[in-house]
Amino acid sequence: MQLLRGSSRRLLLVLATLLVAAATASEALAHPAETNEHGVNESVFPRLWAGDTETTNVTALNATDPDELLVAGTDVPLDEPPASVRTWNDAEFAQLNSTGKSTVRHPRGAPTESGEYVKDATVAIFAIQPSTRAHLAPGETPLYVPPNGTVQGLVDYRVAEPADDTEGDDHTYWSLQTHQIESVSLSVDGSEVAATSGTQTPELSFDSLRDHPGRTHTLTLSATITVQLQKRERVDVECEGCPAYRWYMYTPTETVTVETSTTVHEYALSVSGYRARYPNGDLGLVVYKNEPWYGYSLPSGGVRGVWRYYVARDQDWDQLTSATGTGSATSHSPGHPLQVHAYPIEAGPTPAPRRSVDLLDVYGRQRQPASLSPNVHLDTVHEPYTSSYGLAARIHVPNASADELTATGLVRNSSFDAGSDTFATVPIRESNLTLSLAEKTNETLTVAVLLRDNETGAPIATASRDGYVVVNGERLNTSSNGTVQTTVPRTTGTVAARYDPGKWWLNIPGYVGDSDVLRVQSHTLQLLRVLYRLAIPIGLLLVAGFLIDRITSWGFWPPWRNL
């Protein structure tokens, strides 16, 4: 019964969430597909519509499964960009069809150019694949694209054919000869990288972002439309013996170019850093990377960054504006492109699993998180998060290897596999710390610290490297010969010292810590200790003599009776 009541409460909570989401659907301008289409995996499909309420899909699901209802009716963070986004976009892109020469269609915000005969020429970017919109900070949401990718676009125009003029003595007749999309080109920072012709739905690839300076680039999709008409003019002739009129033929041609641009950030993840092997076999790793990332992993564990993903439709394509020579109207778009988004979900990187990975240090800066769309309901960080560029970790698995590391980027298929030259090797050795008494008084103790490399015996000078020695809570640095002296109050008979080696990756070689304890006692305690040590063997002899006397009846017990 308790389980049933718990399930009922959970189901009611889910249904209440769906009702609230449905109530705000009009505000979200929801345009999700009615049913799963284009061969997208059924379990993935509901996760592709952050910001929408998939009411039809929810109704079609098994209402007894709260988990399925929850996924279909709410937004869900994703651990990776779904490959289904490309599947969906390609299929939706194929549904963009021609409108003919008298009507032009374009999404919201698309530029238009008009000439005398070519009207409302437009070009729009449908999708850039793969790509991820990263919400780094307020006002900072770069579109990350890999060095190689594809731009899908829509080109359209209409032709304004002049009306025939048959009034008066002279007549003019117009006819359309040809009209075509002469060329569509893709440029990177003003340099053309791909081109095609004769298509309203160009799909152009780029593979040369690395050839252009900087990391931020401008992608420009440019379309050139050409129209050729025939103009026939009949001119009356007034002369004796001449024909009544003459025909004059013209072929006016017009070319209009329209373009649209978007700014992208080249995303080419790479890592570098240091590797080390602790004396007990643990793996030490310091990983520096050049871009925000999902994190890195090894077969034995890894570190997750602060980023997760969601997928949402591009609302500029919800409706298309159709323009003719007499007016314009809006209609439902036949194509709804999806965009992958990345957002911070944690305040800082996290080790996974915690039992085998220790996060030693994080290099980065604090950033205020960006706000997501009001219709996207996901748990986000509200306080500043750490945007890291370097992570130091200790992997508590003796056979772990840095060569097995895979770093995962924010853009689909942007992983980086470590090789033998990815990390520089830093040796980590055992240290040896010893304490000795240099001088003592009734009030103070002067102790000498000796810190050496346990393998080579070389002195460790903490004054010239990271790390320090702590003696009874006081930080000290050893000199070039690995020694230091300090005087401490003689409040107890014990002096404790330890070596904190600091960050192994900041010095070569690195070290693990060591400790020692020095016990100094008073004269009285030393005398009692001597007496105690003498009493034990004497007592044993007396007990043995007593037992022998009782067994043998030799009569020498107690040994002092004849004294």
pLDDT band (50, 70, 90) for residue 531: low
206-241 residue pLDDT tens: 987 888 888 999 999 999 999 999 999 988 887 777
SS3 readout for 232-282: EEEEECCCCCCCCEEEEEECCEEEEEEEEEEEEEECCCCEEEEEEECCCCC
Residues 42 and 36 sit within 8 Å (Cβ to Cβ) = yes
Residues 494 and 519 sit within 8 Å (Cβ to Cβ) = yes
Beta strand 483-489 pairing with 474-476 = unpaired
The answer to whether residue 421 scores a pLDDT higher than 90 is: yes
The answer to whether residue 515 scores a pLDDT higher than 70 is: yes
Amino acid identity of 318? D
- CA-nearest of 123, 130, 144 to 186 is 123
Q: In degrees rounded to 5, what are phi and psi of residue 145?
A: -135, 150
DSSP 549: H
Cβ within 8 Å of residue 254, ≥6 positions away: 115, 116, 117, 118, 226, 227
The answer to whether residue 563 scores a pLDDT higher than 70 is: no
Query: Which of 29-38, 106-115, 193-202, 411-420 shows the lowest per-residue confidence on average (mean pLDDT)?
Result: 29-38
Beta strand 149-159 pairing with 203-206 = antiparallel
- What is the rounded distance in angstroms from the CA atom of residue 262 to the CA atom of residue 187? 11
Q: Decide: helix, strand or coil at residue 124.
A: strand
**What does each C-alpha distance from 132 to 336, 341, 426 come to in angstroms?**
17, 5, 36
Q: In degrees rounded to 5, what are phi and psi of residue 505?
A: -80, -5
pLDDT of residue 61: 45
Q: What is the dihedral of CA 472, 478, 482, 485, to 10 degrees?
A: -50
C-alpha count within 13 angstroms, C-beta hemisphere, residue 65 = 11
- What is the rounded distance in angstroms from the CA atom of residue 385 to the CA atom of residue 136? 10
Residues 275 and 401 sit within 8 Å (Cβ to Cβ) = no
Token digits of residue 548: 């022998």
Instruction: Quote the CATH superfamily of domain 429-519.
Output: Immunoglobulins (2.60.40.10)
Cis peptide before 384 (omega within 30 of 0): no
45-57 residue pLDDT tens: 888 999 886 544 4
Amino acid identity of 314? D
pLDDT band (50, 70, 90) for residue 522: low
Task: Output the average pLDDT for the chain.
Answer: 87
The answer to whether residue 2 scores a pLDDT higher than 60 is: no
- What is the rounded distance in angstroms from the CA atom of residue 44 to the CA atom of residue 89? 14
Q: Count of CB atoms within 10 A of residue 241's CB?
A: 4
273-285 residue pLDDT tens: 999 999 999 999 9
Q: What would the DSSP string read from start to end of 34-57?
A: SS--TT--TTTGGGG-TT---HHH
Q: Which residues of 134-147 are buried (b: 16+ CB within 10 A; e: fewer)?
A: bbbeeeeebbbbbe
- CA-nearest of 264, 422, 282, 407 to 349 is 407
Rg (CA), the chain: 40
pLDDT of residue 374: 87
Q: Decide: helix, strand or coil at residue 506.
A: helix
Longest pairwise C-alpha distance within the chain: 181
pLDDT of residue 175: 95
C-alpha count within 13 angstroms, C-beta hemisphere, residue 161 = 17
The pLDDT of 455-462, averaged and rounded, is 96
pLDDT of residue 42: 82
Q: Count of CB atoms within 10 A of residue 473's CB?
A: 7
- Which pTM value belongs to this model? 0.81
Which spans in 34-140 are helix H? 55-60, 66-73, 84-93
Rounded to 5°, angle at Cα 555 from 554 and 561: 150
Give the residue extent of every domain in the chain.
Answer: 2-76, 86-266, 271-312+342-425, 429-519, 526-563
Q: Is 37 exposed, middle or buried (0-12, 13-18, 19+ CB in 10 A)?
A: exposed
- What is the rounded distance in angstroms from the CA atom of residue 476 to the CA atom of residue 471? 7
List beta partners, residue 224: 183, 257
Q: How far is CA 218 from the centre of its chain?
A: 22
295-352 residue pLDDT tens: 999 999 999 999 999 999 999 999 999 999 899 999 999 999 999 999 999 999 999 9
